[in-house]
Amino acid sequence: MFCPTCGSPISDDAKFCPVCGSAIGAASAAPAPQPAPQPAPQPQPAPQPTQIQPTPVQAVQPQPQPQQYANQQQYTGQYAQQPAAAPMGYGPVKSDRSLIGWLLLSIVTCGIYSYYFLYCLARDINTVCQEDGDSTPGIAALILLSFVTCGFYALYWYYKIGNRLQANAPRYGLVFQENGTTILMWQIVGALLCGLGPIFAMNIIIKNTNAMATVYNTRLGVRA
């Protein structure tokens, strides 16, 4: 057998170890050390399920389409630029007046034709420019007031016609660069050019009146 203390070999009947002196019987009778009790494992709490908060859904406002908005602007602009309908209620107006014809016939008739020409011109201008809130006086007022004012009213008469034609041109899809001031300058300053100024002024009036009369007659469906 062996010593339980130091492990040295001893005889079977020995009561003490000859090496370490330990009592053999006491050592054998001593209870074997018991292992320390292990603490019971504590139960782990079950994991709580994670609660998912619902995300609030925001209503999406429809955004205007740029292309559609651009098309609406384009259509609006096109409709705004459309010339107004020609005033109706009268017959066709003369649209082929000639400066040469006015000048020659006025010379041949010693100026009488020029009065008839101005009478017809004022009548046709009132027709194509009707409903604009203005009116061009006829030949009687022109002769009388020009006589009273020593010819100054005639200059004013031509000035008003130039402005009226320019103001009504957009109604027929036209644009006139000349206005009453242009005609007045030709009447006054142009008279110093060998008396040719009034002829140039009349040429402007005839040209612009013919242009408006042509569109007016076209919308009436007639030709004059």
Mean pLDDT by 10 residues, the chain (224 residues): 74 72 58 56 59 56 49 38 51 92 95 95 94 91 94 95 96 94 90 83 96 93 66
Q: Does 211 map to a domain?
A: yes
Q: Does 33 map to a domain?
A: no
Q: How high is the pLDDT of residue 45?
A: 59
Q: Does 60 map to a domain?
A: no
Q: Does 161 map to a domain?
A: yes
Q: Does 139 map to a domain?
A: yes
Q: Is 2 helix (H, G, I), strand (E, B) or coil?
A: strand
Q: How high is the pLDDT of residue 103?
A: 94
Neighbours of 76 (CB within 10 A): 10
**CA geometry: angle at 221 spanning 89 and 81, to 5°?**
80
Q: How high is the pLDDT of residue 77?
A: 38
Torsion, CA 127, CA 135, CA 185, CA 182, rounded to 10: -50
Q: Does 59 map to a domain?
A: no
Q: How high is the pLDDT of residue 66?
A: 46
Residue range of the domain that includes 207: 99-220
Total count of domains within the chain: 1
Encoded amino acid at 129, one letter: C
Q: How high is the pLDDT of residue 13?
A: 72
Q: Does 167 map to a domain?
A: yes
Q: How high is the pLDDT of residue 115?
A: 95
Q: What is the token pair recorded at 110?
A: 């010693």
Distance CA 217, CA 197 (A): 30
Q: Does 113 map to a domain?
A: yes
Q: How high is the pLDDT of residue 218?
A: 92
